[in-house]
Amino acid sequence: MQIVKFPVKVKLKKFSDLIFFSQLDLIHLLARALRRTNLPIYFTQGFHPRVKISFLSGLKLGVEGQMDVVFYFREKIQPQDMVRELSPQLPKGLEIVEILS
Partner 1 sequence: MINLTNFQRPQRYVGNEWNVIKKPHQGKIKICLAYPDLYEIGMSNLGLRIIYGLLNEYPDIVCERSFLPGSDLIIHLSQSQDKLFSLESKTPLSEFEVIGVNIGHELNYTNFLKILDLGGIPIYANQRADNIVVVSSVSNPEPLADFVDVFYIGEFEENSKIFVDILKNCKSKPERLRALAGQEGFYVPSMYNFYRKANTYFFEKKYPDVSLPIKRAYVRDLDTSYVPTKWLTPHTEITHDRVPIELARGCPRRCTFCQARDVYFPYRQRKVETVKRLVRQIYETSGYEEFSFLALSASDYSHIEALLDEMYPFFLKHQIGLSLPSLRVDDLITVLHKKLLKLKKSSLTLAVEAARDPLRNRLNKEIDIKKLFEAAKVIKHLGTRRIKIYFMFGLPGEEEEDLLAMRDFVNKLRSESGLMVGVSINIFIPKPFSIWSDQKMETESNLNRKRQSILNNFSRVRNIKLSVASVKNILLEAIISRADRKFSEVIYKAYSKGAIMDGYSEHFNWQIWEEAMADSDIDYNDYLNNTSDNYPWSFIESAKVINSCK
The footprint of partner 1 (CB under 8 A) covers 17-18, 20-22, 24-25, 28-29, 31-36, 43, 47-51, 62, 89, 91-93
Nearer to partner 1, 10 or 30 (CB): 30
Nearer to partner 1, 29 or 77 (CB): 29
Residues with Cβ within 8 Å of residue 95, at least 6 apart in sequence: 12, 13, 15, 87
Kindly report the CA angle at 21 between 20 and 23, in degrees rounded to 5?
Answer: 135
| Neighbouring C-alpha atoms within 13 Å toward the C-beta of 26 | 29
CB of 101 to partner 1, least distance (A): 25
Q: How far is CA 17 from CA 10, 21, 67, 98, in A?
A: 21, 8, 16, 21
Nearer to partner 1, 50 or 84 (CB): 50
Nearer to partner 1, 27 or 99 (CB): 27
